[in-house]
Amino acid sequence: MAGRHTSSARVSELSASEVEDLVVRLAKDGVPPSRIGLILRDQHAVPSVKDATGKSVKQIIDAHGVKAELPEDLMRVILRAVKLYDHLGRNPKDLGIKRSLEIIEARINKLASYYKRKGTLPADWRYDRERAALLVRA
């Protein structure tokens, strides 16, 4: 497997509870779960949170009741839509961006309906361009 680092030259000196505490602290600071794994790998020599604790980053965050307002993937897509909407405000004749914005807003609605079914989002949650801009800026 070329490009994949398989040797564990650096082994974590942290216990499972210390890794869990780090995950919770980073989540409380607003770091998304995907970045938490990278920070633990790069700064604390924890190659895998699941191997170190027996739980995934998401499971640890959920167990400690530290939840983000929106799921990370939905927030990323909303951020992209806000950026495209801002671009469209400055360049109203950019039809390619207008089409991209339509596609991304459709993706937001698909993700929202999935998370509503799953129970992660409230049933009355709706995507709104103006509210999304405020949500991302905050």
**pLDDT digit string (tens) for 47-102?**
888 888 888 888 888 888 887 788 889 999 999 999 999 999 999 999 999 999 99
Alpha-carbon span 76 to 70, nearest angstrom: 10
Share of the chain above pLDDT 90, in %: 38
Residue 138: pLDDT band (50, 70, 90) is: low
Judged against a pLDDT cut of 60, whether residue 1 lies above it is answered with no
Angle in degrees, CA 75, 77, 83, rounded to 5: 105
pLDDT at 52: 85
Q: What is the pTM of this model?
A: 0.74
Judged against a pLDDT cut of 50, whether residue 20 lies above it is answered with yes
Burial of 55 (0-12, 13-18, 19+ CB in 10 A): middle
Helices (H) and strands (E) in the chain, counts: 7, 0
Residue 11: pLDDT band (50, 70, 90) is: low
Judged against a pLDDT cut of 50, whether residue 8 lies above it is answered with no
